[in-house]
């Protein structure tokens, strides 16, 4: 299955780079693709014209396959769905919803479609819709999260569908890769560790916060609003949780978090910005090139595999 997913997409290593809003742009995506993985541009809520330009920039930086992540709740989802076809994007990953209405036209355009799922029911539904694979993402991941852990979700999704499953959430080294493969995954998706890559364009303050983070330094905000997000604890997160615990209305909470991710990524405001990162932040302790990260992770995995087989 691991060979199948690599052959399907045309990548050397069975590793995807997560589609992180304001983070996953052309430089990072191209670096991951050039290093043998699948780089992914994040559509998020950015203007469609900007995403088109990022796709074109990526084409100039790599001749390897790369993908586009579309958040289906975004206002620009319809535009991005068409831009992906027009620009010849090879892979689309989706989040925050069901991409059913787009699948036929994407498949007719020869695009590989891989939705993120947080439940067995959605994974089965996506398989029936004709997608090529699914990403089973546990709540250890950074950013928007579901309820189930990767350890629980991944094997159940693998048992439920006959298409390749990519494991995501809480994977930062070769041990994580080995665990995901043991649970049935055909590939892994990694986000947080790539935050600490040389090619990642986020502010240095943000990178430093990830590197300095310890095992219990992330929290989930927004559970009461129905949009839970995992972030590194800071002034903003503490204030948000305080208001949540006091049952402040959703509008006030949304106003507090408005523009907070941009503050972290662009401005480097580690107090008032939203430092989206996964629970494995405590395992990320140095800044490396993307190539070093991928090769180190798979070297560790190969050693584990050899030791296990011996």
pLDDT tens readout for residues 235-268: 999 998 998 888 877 777 777 778 888 899 999 9
205 to 103, 153, 195, 212: CA distances (angstroms): 39, 33, 11, 10
The pLDDT tens digits along the chain (310 residues) read 455 889 999 999 999 999 988 889 999 999 999 999 999 999 888 888 999 999 999 999 999 999 999 988 888 899 999 999 999 999 999 987 788 889 999 999 999 999 999 999 999 999 999 999 999 999 999 888 888 999 999 999 999 999 999 999 999 999 999 999 999 999 999 999 999 999 999 999 999 999 999 999 999 998 877 788 999 999 999 998 998 888 877 777 777 778 888 899 999 999 999 999 999 999 999 999 999 999 999 999 988 887 766 5
Statement to judge: residues 253 and 290 lie in one domain: no
**What letter does residue 17 receive in the DSSP assignment?**
E
Statement to judge: residues 189 and 258 lie in one domain: no
Statement to judge: residues 167 and 291 lie in one domain: yes
For residue 194, which of 284, 260, 63, 273 has the smallest C-alpha distance? 284
Q: Look at residue 2 and tell me if it is in a domain.
A: no
> Domain of 31: which CATH number?
3.20.20.70
**Angle between helical axes of 26-34 and 290-309 (0-180°, round to 10):** 40
Statement to judge: residues 56 and 192 lie in one domain: yes
pLDDT for 3 equals 57
DSSP codes, 136-161? EE-TTSSEE--SS-HHHHHHHHHHH-
Statement to judge: residues 59 and 193 lie in one domain: yes
For residue 105, which of 82, 139, 87, 134 has the smallest C-alpha distance? 82
**Contact criterion met (CB below 8 Å) for 190 and 16:** yes
Q: Which residues pair with 229 in a beta bridge?
A: 144, 221
DSSP codes, 210-237? HHH--TT-EEEE-GGGT--EEEE--HHH
Q: Look at residue 36 and tell me if it is in a domain.
A: yes
Q: Which residues pair with 153 in a beta bridge?
A: none
Statement to judge: residues 160 and 297 lie in one domain: yes
Statement to judge: residues 16 and 147 lie in one domain: yes
Statement to judge: residues 120 and 173 lie in one domain: yes
- DSSP-derived 3-state class of residue 200: coil
Q: How far apart are CA 147 and CA 104, in angstroms?
A: 30
Angle at 268 between CA 69 and CA 66, to 5 degrees: 20
List, in order, residues 6 or more apart from 129 with CB less than 8 Å away: 99, 100, 103
- DSSP-derived 3-state class of residue 257: helix
Q: Look at residue 15 and tell me if it is in a domain.
A: yes
Question: Counting Cβ atoms within 10 Å, is residue 309 exposed (0-12), middle (13-18) or buried (19+)?
Answer: exposed
Enclosing domain of residue 258: 204-280
* pLDDT, tens only, 27-54: 999 999 999 999 999 988 888 899 999 9
Q: How far apart are CA 77 and CA 59, in angstroms?
A: 21
Statement to judge: residues 266 and 300 lie in one domain: no
What Rg value do the Cα atoms of the chain yield, rounded?
18
Statement to judge: residues 88 and 188 lie in one domain: yes
DSSP codes, 280-292? GGGG--S-B-HHH
Q: Look at residue 132 and tell me if it is in a domain.
A: yes
Order of strands, edge to edge, in the sheet holding 143-144? Answer: 143-144, 229-232, 218-221
DSSP codes, 76-122? THHHHHHHHHHTT-SEEEEESS--HHHHHHHHHTT-EEEEEESSHHH
> How many domains is the chain built from?
2
């Amino acid at each position: 299955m691991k060979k199948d997913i690599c052959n399907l997409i045309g990548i050397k290593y069975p590793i995807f780079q997560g589609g992180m809003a304001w983070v996953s742009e052309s430089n990072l995506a191209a670096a991951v693709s050039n290093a043998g993985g699948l780089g992914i541009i994040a559509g998020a809520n950015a203007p469609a014209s900007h995403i088109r330009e990022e796709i074109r920039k990526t084409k100039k930086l790599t001749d390897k396959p790369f993908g586009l992540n579309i958040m289906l709740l975004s206002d620009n989802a319809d535009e991005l769905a068409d831009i992906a076809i027009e620009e010849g994007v090879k892979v689309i990953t989706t989040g925050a919803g069901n991409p059913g209405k787009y699948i036929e036209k994407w498949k007719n355009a020869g695009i590989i479609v891989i939705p993120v799922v947080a439940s067995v029911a959605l994974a089965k539904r996506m398989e029936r819709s004709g997608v090529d694979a699914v990403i089973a993402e546990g709540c250890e991941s950074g950013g928007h999260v579901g309820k189930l852990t990767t350890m629980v979700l991944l094997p159940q999704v693998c048992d439920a569908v006959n298409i390749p499953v990519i494991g995501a959430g809480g994977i930062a080294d070769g041990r994580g890769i080995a665990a995901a493969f043991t649970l049935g995954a055909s590939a892994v998706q990694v986000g947080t560790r790539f935050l600490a890559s040389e090619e990642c364009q986020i502010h240095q303050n943000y990178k430093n916060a990830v590197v300095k983070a310890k095992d219990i330094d992330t929290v989930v905000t927004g559970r009461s609003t129905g949009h839970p997000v995992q972030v590194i604890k800071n002034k903003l997160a503490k204030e948000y949780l305080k208001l949540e615990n006091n049952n402040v209305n959703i509008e006030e909470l949304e106003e507090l978090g408005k523009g907070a991710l941009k503050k972290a990524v662009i401005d480097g405001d580690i107090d008032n910005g939203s430092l989206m990162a996964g629970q494995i932040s405590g395992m990320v302790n140095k800044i490396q090139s993307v190539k070093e990260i991928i090769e180190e992770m798979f070297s560790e995995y190969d050693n584990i595999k050899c030791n296990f087989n011996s």
